Amino acid sequence: MPPPDSASLPRILATARAGAVGEAWRLFRAAGLEGELADPATLAVKGRLLKAQAGALAEGAGRTALLAQAAEAYGAAGALSGASYHLINAATLWRLADQAEAGRACAERVLDGLARHPEEAETPYWREATRAEALLLLGRRDAAARALADAVAGGPRAWEDHAVTLRQFRLICAAEGAPTAWLEVLTPPRAAHFAGRMPPIDEAALRGRVEALLAETRIGFAFGAAAAGADIVIAEAMADAGVELTLVLPVDAVAFRRASVAGAGGDWPARFDALIERAVAVQAVEPELAAPDQLSMSLASEIAMGEAVRRAMALETDAVQVLALDPADAAPGIAGGTAWARARWAASGRAQVLLPAVRASGADAVAQAPAGTRLAAVLAVAVAPQDTAAAVRALGADAASPPVWTGHALRVAFDHPDAAAGAAQRLRAALGEAVRIGGAYGRLSAQPVEGVAGAVESGPALDLAFAILPGAPPGAAHLDAAMAAAACLSATPPRLELAGEIGGTEVFALGLPS
């Protein structure tokens, strides 16, 4: 047997975060780490894998047993390292495994360690949050609340850290049957999608409505475009209120300014330029296009909406849509338009705020996409030839067209990203580590090719899905940023975790269903 290889731990953790827990275990065992008892880092990874395994199971004896094994692994790591991170994980896992006494004993060790080594934690936030978690496990909720307030004071805008703590504390409170209202201090501000596009007749009135909304609704992050008119009015009001602004444009900023801002005249171009400077990020969905068309507008709108939801999920907060809408725009309208975005968001059941704003001019004109071009969510599915029949059965009837075998993988296109994500989960349930999946959402074109029966589909979504596929470990599904965002518009969005990057595009691992 080869000696243990702890250098493989980062790869094992990355594989587990990709949702491929079975493959992570295979790598863990192949590295000779399963029997390792003297290395805290290895024991902590073992605890992480057992916890992930438990998280994929429903409540029951099997889940409880895995949680207890995870607690034992973290506890063994803590006994060697004395690190509060290892010990607090053990303490909470013991409580979730219905072994409250063991959890309390571990929590006491955490408090003792923090008292003797107050400098150990990475940041003041984590020191006090760890103290609060130990106090909560000991049933000292008032003291836990004070420590939690101190933690937030030490990192008031550490939203991602707050979200991790919030998830953990909610689990503990659920196990205790305790109230959670006192955790409100941790809740990050909401994420919002905004849209309006048309120039309003009364810009000052719209600005006032946005300011009133921001005064009564805690919004901290906003995603949308910045076309001349209501888009810019809303974005300016949010930026002035300290909201972190991410602009999601259908094409690059120069082309978008030319097509959707400059033609309106006035000071709109200068205001657009100022917003570009103020935004924390500017995303161009199809930067290769010279001008936006209906598909790029639709794709950008879906991505902006999905990014708002994904941000809210990551931070354990809510997502809301803020729309400036002419009361006459009751019908869904063109894909990518404001009324269309209203219908798309409403289908998910999430909160919406509609701000009346009578348009100063006619409806927005958007160029049509070339004939035979559409948006599609594409899956590239790597399976052994003998597993193709099982894979086709698992894909079901949701696909827009029958799966095609390319010689080493199946390719299949769906009209909606949530349908593609659902198919990916069915594939994983049916085939386990015998399948790997790459997914992308974007433009597909069907064009006739001489000597080939029927039209042949090609386009960025297809190319990207197959480019992503090799990086997905066995049993995992990796999605491009567009598909990950748009899939979040489902009423029951999937769990996603950043898995890396390919060609400047972020790639997300599709988590296993809870």
Q: Where in the chain are the domains?
A: 6-186, 190-356, 373-510
pTM: 0.86
Helix (H) or strand (E) holding 219: strand 219-224
Distances (CA, A) of 511 to 238, 298, 306, 439, 478: 32, 26, 16, 14, 9
What integer pLDDT is reported at residue 446 of this predicted model?
Answer: 76
pLDDT of residue 50: 93
What is the gyration radius of the CA atoms in the chain, in angstroms?
Answer: 25
pLDDT of residue 452: 46
On whether the CB atoms of residues 245 and 239 are closer than 8 A, the answer is yes
- Residues near 18 by beta carbon (within 8 Å), at least 6 away in sequence: 472, 473, 476, 478, 497, 499, 509
Residues comprising the chain, all counted:
514
Number of alpha helices (DSSP H) and beta strands (DSSP E) in the chain:
19, 14
The CA-atom distances, in angstroms, between 328 and each of 34, 359, 381, 501 are 65, 9, 45, 43
pLDDT one-digit tens code per residue, 168-195? 999 999 998 989 888 888 888 999 999 9
Please determine whether the domains at 190-356 and 373-510 fall in the same fold group of CATH: no
The class level of CATH for 190-356 reads alpha beta
Q: Are 438 and 467 in contact (CB under 8 A)?
A: yes
Q: Would you state the torsion angle of the CA atoms of residues 232, 416, 448, 373, taken in this order, to the nearest 10 degrees?
A: -10
Q: Which residues of the chain have pLDDT under 50?
A: 1-2, 452-453
Q: Which residues pair with 127 in a beta bridge?
A: none
Q: How many Å separate Cα 206 from the centre of its chain? A: 31
Domain 6-186 has CATH 1.25.40.10: yes
Looking at residue 1, what is its pLDDT? 42
**What's the CATH architecture for 373-510?**
2-Layer Sandwich (3.30)
Q: Give me the DSSP letters along 393-454.
A: HHHTT-SSS--EE-SSSEEEEESSHHHHHHHHHHHHHHHGGG-EEEEEEEEEEEEE-TTSSS
Q: Which two structure tokens, joined as six digits, stand for 431?
A: 């085939």
Q: Return the closest-CA partner of residue 46 out of 86, 73, 27.
A: 73
